[in-house]
């Protein structure tokens, strides 16, 4: 093995040169705890400081693959006494600083298809069986501790510790370190594995969100794949225990952190109010539980992930956030939600990997391994409450856009544990979805609020979105499809009936004793036989998540049914709107935009349907929207047993956009003292482009707004020129137009304003016509300012040049041709007037 002296002598010259180029942030001191004996060994400190300084210099000067190779050699060659001083710096160098200033290796953006070499090296180094984890276990065997600042913990945990109240999670027990400054600067004393996992989990939260311009697929990033690998390693779905890993062949296995024997899995997260107020100073030292040695890493990993990713809202904070003026303390990102969904999917697979004989209730009373206990306790005891508050916040505060799809899929993944069971049936067709087995009824009942209250929350969101958008229509379809699975609605309804059962034999004063039941059934024995086990579990679930004074709105009650009927009506309207937009798009010829820019296409001066993503995605999008909404409506009919007559009523109430004469109807409105007043239905029709008022320009045609197919400066110049001519020769124009011969008719055809026969009243009420105001004969040159006219003239001159006709002869021919055309039109116009009655 290479001696440290040789390494230091070899690296010292380069180190001195590198120190001259080290930026200012390099001088920041690494935070770590040294064992007491280290302070007395000056040579040891000197060696450790040289090693740390050398690695810092290499992190600046050497390429990434070379740095990782050097780190692997250092981890293999150096003892734990030297390695523990570089460990905090190395962890921060990989995952970034807790304040988000340093991004570390930027694992959230590292992708194999973009940077294959760096990606491969990083994944091999950070693999659960890789060099970094070997370093963790090497330090773990020596029982080193590292300080982690409490100020970077999630809000509820930080507030609790700073108030000297011990958090309910056992993750923080016996770890709080007081400082002379009192509540300020509190630290947690973590073992190497905990310290590493804390930084790994928090790097998802503390680092700045990815810029919108950077299109990164989360599932392809190194961080996302590492989360999946850690979950598969420490929470295995196959095998009895996680694969053991020692620091060296034949070496001792790392010792687990102490855990209180009196706190079994069945009681995690179920402390009574009196237990929640335990003062931090009352922490007691406990001995390690030998039976839990095999799963302590699994337990720690799950608790850290749940605490760092989900525990950002407490029940009290959630109740305060219901106020519309409340300020958000933490806002999750779409990337954060996708990682949480990965965690939930794996937890379902982990919990469902129990063998049937282990998962049965009778197995709970027999001796089971810690891993089996952990599988049963993982979801209900560690995840449920924190996930519920997290989802409640997302449903109430997430923007009303398509990014909510990530939250929606996370929620739906949690609601369907049967999708991740090893004995799952093959997926059925859309017409015949598979039936949800009755064995999942306990899960549905013990997660009742996840199904019912969040479904009502989704209904309120859906009623505020534009369902014409295919992305929003897809979300409604996804939720309706999941809840329409056969037997699921019946199980939810059964759970609500259990919760709403009258408590005839339970004294009111005992309501505060409701808590989630244990696996051993000890909480159930004092209760009278009249209270069923299932009813108790459902009530315990609701009271533990919502508090004792919660107001429960049944999913199958009248309030929720009213929301469902409103959503069904909105779906019907959205389908009609999508069809109207599709019809309008079909009427528009291909290349209409380019031709209208040139002025050849018809000009719609009265507005159009508002733009949405249907315009961008075309007819396929319209078909998808119609398909999603049609199926969602059918699923809602199945779930809530809506009658066909109710659905037909919505279609009849919507009516049609055509009246008897084939003209578009006005938006729905009522006549008030000051004119028409739009109803809510009328506003909906205008916003979604279903109906509109026929708005026509009734002013001076010469003063119309400049169109997109006109040259603004040229139109203004031509207007000034024509105004000067009209002002100078007004008398002569009147005299010419007053003649009764052909010249008078010719002048009236060109100089008289067309279309002055009638004008409509500005109010859409009635169709009364008033006589137009004749402005007298005048000359208009505005047509020369359009792209169409100029393009036509250039085209004519270009074609004439091909036949060797010069510009002047071509202009004379154009003038002669126009005179002949205008003479013919004059004769036709005069003849038409003679035949008018």
Degrees, nearest 5: CA angle 798-799-804: 90
* DSSP assigned state of 172: G
How far is residue 69's CA from residue 76's CA, in Å, rounded to a whole number? 11
End-to-end C-alpha distance for the chain, whole angstroms: 116
Q: What is the pLDDT of residues 789-831, one digit of tens each?
A: 899 889 999 999 998 888 898 989 888 988 888 888 888 877 7
Angle of helix 533-546 relative to helix 384-397, nearest 10 degrees, comes to 50
| pLDDT at site 502 | 76
The two tokens of residue 662 are 């084939």
Do residues 416 and 482 touch, judged by C-beta distance below 8 A? yes
Categorize the per-residue pLDDT at 600 as very low, low, confident or very high, splitting at 50, 70 and 90: very low
Which uninterrupted H or E stretch holds 671?
strand 669-672
DSSP β-bridge partners for residue 677: 670
Q: Which residue in 102, 89, 116, 323 sits closest to 207, CA to CA?
A: 102
Would you put residue 804 in left (φ > 0), alpha (ψ -120 to 50) or beta?
A: left
- Burial bucket for residue 392 (CB in 10 Å: 0-12, 13-18, 19+): buried
pTM for this prediction: 0.70
How far is residue 730's CA from residue 359's CA, in Å, rounded to a whole number? 100
The two tokens of residue 235 are 């929470």
Instruction: Report CA-CA distances (Å) from 99 to 92, 107, 149, 155, 204.
Output: 11, 16, 11, 15, 12
Q: How many CB atoms lie within 10 A of CB 251?
A: 12
How far is residue 445's CA from residue 384's CA, in Å, rounded to a whole number? 13
| pLDDT at site 345 | 96
Collapsing DSSP to helix, strand or coil, 248 comes out as coil
Categorize the per-residue pLDDT at 667 as very low, low, confident or very high, splitting at 50, 70 and 90: confident
How far is residue 214's CA from residue 332's CA, in Å, rounded to a whole number? 18
Which uninterrupted H or E stretch holds 770?
strand 769-771
How far is residue 304's CA from residue 386's CA, in Å, rounded to a whole number? 13
- Burial bucket for residue 111 (CB in 10 Å: 0-12, 13-18, 19+): middle
Q: Which residue in 85, 87, 175, 92 sits closest to 137, CA to CA?
A: 87
Categorize the per-residue pLDDT at 11 as very low, low, confident or very high, splitting at 50, 70 and 90: very low
Instruction: Report CA-CA distances (Å) from 583 to 212, 577, 615, 690.
Output: 35, 10, 12, 11
Instruction: Report CA-CA distances (Å) from 191 to 84, 137, 138, 195, 257.
Output: 11, 10, 11, 6, 7
Q: Which residue in 191, 147, 412, 181 sits closest to 297, CA to CA?
A: 191
- Higher-pLDDT residue of 303 and 502 is 303
Sequence-distant (≥ 6) Cβ neighbours of residue 477 within 8 angstroms: 628, 629, 631, 632, 635
Question: What does the DSSP assignment read for 145-164?
Answer: -EEEEGGGS-HHHHHHHHTT
Domain segments of the chain: what residues?
A: 235-242+293-321+330-355+371-422, 438-504+534-587+619-656, 712-754+776-834
Examine the pLDDT at 293 and tell me if it is beyond 80.
no
Can you state the percent helix, strand and coil of the chain, rounding each to 5? Answer: 60, 5, 35
Examine the pLDDT at 613 and tell me if it is beyond 60.
no
Phi/psi at 464 (nearest 5 deg)? -105, 10
The mean pLDDT value for 450-470 works out to 93
How far is residue 711's CA from residue 598's CA, in Å, rounded to a whole number? 11
How far is residue 424's CA from residue 440's CA, in Å, rounded to a whole number? 12
How far is residue 291's CA from residue 569's CA, in Å, rounded to a whole number? 59
Place of tokens 């947690």: 188
Sequence-distant (≥ 6) Cβ neighbours of residue 563 within 8 angstroms: 456, 459, 460, 463
Question: What does the DSSP assignment read for 499-510?
Answer: HTS--SSS-GGG
Sequence-distant (≥ 6) Cβ neighbours of residue 831 within 8 angstroms: none
The two tokens of residue 64 are 């990434």
* DSSP assigned state of 23: -
How far is residue 831's CA from residue 818's CA, in Å, rounded to a whole number? 20
Q: What is the pLDDT of residues 138-187, one digit of tens each?
A: 999 888 999 999 999 998 888 888 888 888 888 888 888 766 655 456 88
Categorize the per-residue pLDDT at 637 as very low, low, confident or very high, splitting at 50, 70 and 90: very high
Q: Which residue in 668, 484, 667, 473 sits closest to 572, CA to CA?
A: 473
Collapsing DSSP to helix, strand or coil, 761 comes out as coil
CA 27 to chain centre: 39
Q: By mean pLDDT, which of 73-87, 160-174, 732-746, 768-782 is the weakest?
A: 768-782
Number of residues that this document lists for the chain: 837
The two tokens of residue 471 are 């992305």
Degrees, nearest 5: CA angle 39-40-42: 85
DSSP β-bridge partners for residue 373: none
Report the percent of the chain where pLDDT is more than 70. Answer: 68
Sequence-distant (≥ 6) Cβ neighbours of residue 353 within 8 angstroms: 236, 237, 238, 375, 422
Examine the pLDDT at 783 and tell me if it is beyond 90.
no
Q: How many CB atoms lie within 10 A of CB 398?
A: 18
The mean pLDDT value for 371-397 works out to 92
Mean pLDDT (the chain, rounded): 76
Categorize the per-residue pLDDT at 587 as very low, low, confident or very high, splitting at 50, 70 and 90: low
Angle of helix 334-351 relative to helix 404-415, nearest 10 degrees, comes to 10
How far is residue 265's CA from residue 368's CA, in Å, rounded to a whole number? 12
Collapsing DSSP to helix, strand or coil, 182 comes out as strand
The two tokens of residue 562 are 């009213």
- Higher-pLDDT residue of 94 and 4 is 94
Q: What is the pLDDT of residues 197-238, one digit of tens each?
A: 999 999 999 888 777 667 788 899 999 999 999 999 999 988
Question: What does the DSSP assignment read for 431-442?
Answer: SSPPPPPGGGHH
Examine the pLDDT at 99 and tell me if it is beyond 50.
yes
How far is residue 571's CA from residue 633's CA, in Å, rounded to a whole number? 7
| pLDDT at site 740 | 84
- Burial bucket for residue 616 (CB in 10 Å: 0-12, 13-18, 19+): exposed
Degrees, nearest 5: CA angle 154-157-160: 145
Bridging pattern class, strands 769-771 and 758-760: antiparallel
Q: Mark out the alpha helices in 502-610 (DSSP H runs).
A: 533-546, 558-587, 592-598
* Max Cα–Cα distance, the chain, nearest Å: 123
Neighbour-count burial for 178-198, b at 16+ CB within 10 Å, e otherwise = eeeeeeeebbbebbbbbbbbb
Question: Which regions of 105-201 does DSSP assign to beta strands (E)?
Answer: 146-149, 176-179, 182-190
Would you put residue 468 in left (φ > 0), alpha (ψ -120 to 50) or beta?
A: alpha
How far is residue 541's CA from residue 517's CA, in Å, rounded to a whole number? 9
């Amino acid at each position: 093995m290479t001696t440290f002296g040789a390494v230091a002598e070899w690296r010292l010259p380069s180190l001195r040169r590198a120190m001259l180029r080290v930026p200012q942030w390099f001088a920041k001191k690494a935070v770590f705890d040294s064992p007491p004996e280290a302070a007395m060994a000056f040579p040891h400190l000197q060696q450790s400081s040289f090693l740390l300084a050398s690695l810092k210099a290499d992190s600046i000067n050497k390429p990434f693959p070379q740095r990782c190779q050097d780190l692997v050699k250092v981890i293999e060659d150096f003892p734990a006494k030297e390695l523990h001083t570089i460990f905090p710096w190395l962890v921060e160098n990989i995952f970034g600083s807790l304040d988000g200033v340093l991004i570390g290796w930027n694992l959230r953006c590292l992708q194999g298809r973009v940077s294959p070499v760096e990606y491969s090296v990083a994944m091999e180094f950070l693999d659960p069986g890789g060099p970094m984890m070997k370093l963790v276990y090497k330090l773990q065997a020596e029982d080193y501790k590292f300080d982690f600042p409490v100020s970077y913990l999630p809000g509820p945990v930080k507030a609790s510790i700073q108030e000297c109240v011990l958090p309910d999670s056992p993750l923080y027990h016996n770890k709080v370190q007081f400082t002379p400054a009192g509540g300020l600067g509190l630290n947690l004393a973590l073992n190497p594995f905990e310290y590493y996992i804390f930084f790994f989990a928090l790097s998802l939260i503390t680092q700045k969100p990815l810029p919108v311009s950077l299109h990164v697929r989360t599932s392809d990033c190194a961080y996302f794949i590492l989360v999946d690998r850690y979950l598969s390693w420490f929470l295995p779905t196959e095998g009895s225990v996680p694969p053991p890993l020692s620091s060296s062949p034949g070496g001792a296995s790392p010792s687990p952190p102490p855990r209180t024997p009196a706190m079994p899995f069945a009681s995690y997260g179920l402390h009574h109010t009196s237990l929640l107020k335990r003062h931090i100073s009352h922490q007691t030292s406990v001995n390690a539980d030998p039976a839990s040695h095999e799963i302590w890493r699994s337990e720690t990993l799950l608790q850290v992930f749940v605490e760092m990713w989900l525990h950002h809202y407490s029940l009290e904070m959630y109740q305060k956030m219901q106020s519309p003026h409340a300020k958000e303390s933490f806002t999750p990102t779409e990337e954060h939600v996708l990682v949480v969904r990965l965690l939930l999917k794996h937890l379902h697979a982990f919990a469902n990997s129990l063998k049937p004989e282990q998962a049965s209730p009778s197995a709970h009373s027999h001796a089971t391994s810690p891993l089996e206990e952990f599988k049963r306790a993982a979801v209900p005891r560690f995840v449920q409450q924190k996930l519920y508050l997290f989802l409640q916040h997302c449903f109430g505060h997430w923007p009303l856009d398509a990014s909510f799809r990530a939250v929606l899929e996370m929620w739906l993944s949690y609601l369907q544990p049967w999708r991740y069971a090893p004995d799952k049936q093959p997926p059925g067709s859309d017409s015949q979805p598979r039936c949800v087995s009755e064995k999942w009824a306990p899960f549905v009942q013990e997660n009742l609020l996840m199904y019912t209250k969040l479904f009502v929350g989704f209904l309120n969101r859906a009623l505020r979105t534009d369902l014409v958008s295919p992305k929003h229509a897809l979300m409604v379809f996804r939720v309706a499809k999941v809840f329409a699975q056969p037997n699921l609605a019946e199980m939810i309804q059964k759970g609500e009936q259990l919760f709403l059962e009258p408590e005839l034999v339970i004294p009111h004063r005992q309501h505060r004793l409701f808590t989630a039941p244990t696996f051993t059934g000890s909480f159930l024995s004092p209760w009278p036989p009249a209270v069923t086990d299932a009813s108790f579990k459902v009530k315990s679930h609701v009271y533990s998540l919502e508090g004792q004074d919660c107001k429960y709105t049944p999913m199958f009650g009248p309030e929720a049914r009213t929301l469902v009927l409103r959503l069904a009506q909105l779906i019907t309207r959205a389908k009609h709107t999508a069809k109207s937009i599709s019809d309008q798009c079909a009427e528009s010829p291909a290349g209409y935009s380019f031709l209208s820019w040139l002025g050849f296409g018809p000009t719609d001066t009265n507005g159009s349907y508002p733009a949405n993503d249907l315009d961008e995605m075309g007819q396929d999008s319209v078909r998808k929207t119609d398909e999603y909404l049609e199926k969602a409506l059918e699923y809602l009919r199945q779930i809530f047993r809506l009658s066909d007559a109710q659905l037909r009523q919505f279609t009849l109430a919507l009516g049609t956009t055509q009246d008897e004469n084939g003209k578009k109807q006005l938006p729905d409105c009522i006549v008030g003292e000051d004119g028409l007043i739009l109803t809510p239905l009328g506003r909906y029709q205008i916003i979604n482009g279903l109906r509109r008022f026929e708005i026509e320009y009734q002013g001076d045609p010469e003063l119309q707004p400049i169109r997109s197919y006109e040259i603004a400066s040229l139109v203004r110049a031509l207007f000034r020129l024509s105004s000067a001519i009209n002002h100078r020769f007004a008398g002569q124009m009147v005299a010419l137009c007053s003649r009764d011969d052909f010249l008078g008719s010719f002048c009236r055809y060109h100089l008289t304003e067309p279309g002055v026969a009638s004008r409509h009243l500005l109010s859409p009420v009635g169709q009364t016509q008033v006589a137009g105001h004749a402005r007298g004969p005048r000359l208009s040159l505005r047509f020369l300012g359009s792209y169409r006219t100029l393009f036509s003239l250039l085209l004519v001159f270009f074609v004439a040049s091909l036949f060797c006709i010069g510009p002047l002869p071509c202009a004379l021919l154009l003038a002669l041709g126009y005179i002949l055309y205008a003479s013919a039109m004059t004769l036709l116009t005069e003849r038409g007037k003679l035949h008018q009655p």
